[in-house]
Amino acid sequence: MQHFFRTVEKLSTYNILFKGLKEGSHVFDFQIGDSFFEHFENSLINQAAVKVQVTLEKHSSFLALQIRLEGTVKLMCDRCLDWYDQPVEDQETVFVKFGETESEEGDDVIWILPEEYQINVAQLIYEYISISVPLKHVHPDRKDGKSGCDPEMLEKLEKYTHQEVEKTDERWDELKKLLNNN
Ligand SMILES: [Zn+2]
């Protein structure tokens, strides 16, 4: 119970109270660190340093949220298996509308109850960071155009792969011998 309470408390940092705001633009800044991802089960990201800026545009009947993010997330390189900082960048706009039911479909519309006075943007931030991570996790090239991968690691992996192939060949040969004998 205590833990649950703390969790909610932490994510309440991402509540934006819009009720008392004047119509127009309002800017909110968030710094996303490692602990943020502890609140999301099955998160593929555990470490990150991402700056998020939410610009809330308040209109009389709806809200527009522009979410801009920029930073890095720690990923394991698919090629050399070393950890690296993957740059991420994204900008998304989502509209918040008020109603008892969702009367319009679309990924960029969130429906909330008319009596609601705040919106929690943690889930949105989590989703946008997650989708800004490329499918291929590979060290970015260095400034001189060379691969950013750990050269020693690559060499070791290559040797290992060769050894595996040789081993497989040996086993295959033995099997052939056995088959020929029968
Ligand atoms: Zn690498």
Asked if pLDDT for residue 10 goes beyond 70, the answer is no
Instruction: Look at residue 25 and give its three-state secondary structure.
Output: strand
CA of 154 from ligand 1 middle (Å) equals: 8
**What's the CA-to-centroid distance between 62 and ligand 1, angstroms?**
45
CA 71–ligand 1 middle distance (angstroms): 19
Alpha-carbon gap, residue 130 to 113, rounded angstroms? 27
Buried b (16+ CB within 10 A) or exposed e, 14-47: bebebeeeeeeeeeeebebeeebbeebeeeebee
Average pLDDT of span 69-87: 95
pTM > 0.85? no
Q: Report how far ligand 1's centroid is from the alpha carbon of 48 (Å).
A: 18
pLDDT above 50 for 4: no
For the chain, helix (H) and strand (E) counts, in that order, are 3, 7
Does the pLDDT at position 8 exceed 60? no
Q: Which two tokens stand for residue 86?
A: 């993957």
Residue 19 DSSP class: T
Identify the pLDDT of residue 41: 87
Q: Regarding predicted confidence, which is higher, 149 or 162?
A: 149
Ligand 1 ion: Cβ-proximal residues, 5 Å cutoff: 77, 79-80, 139, 149
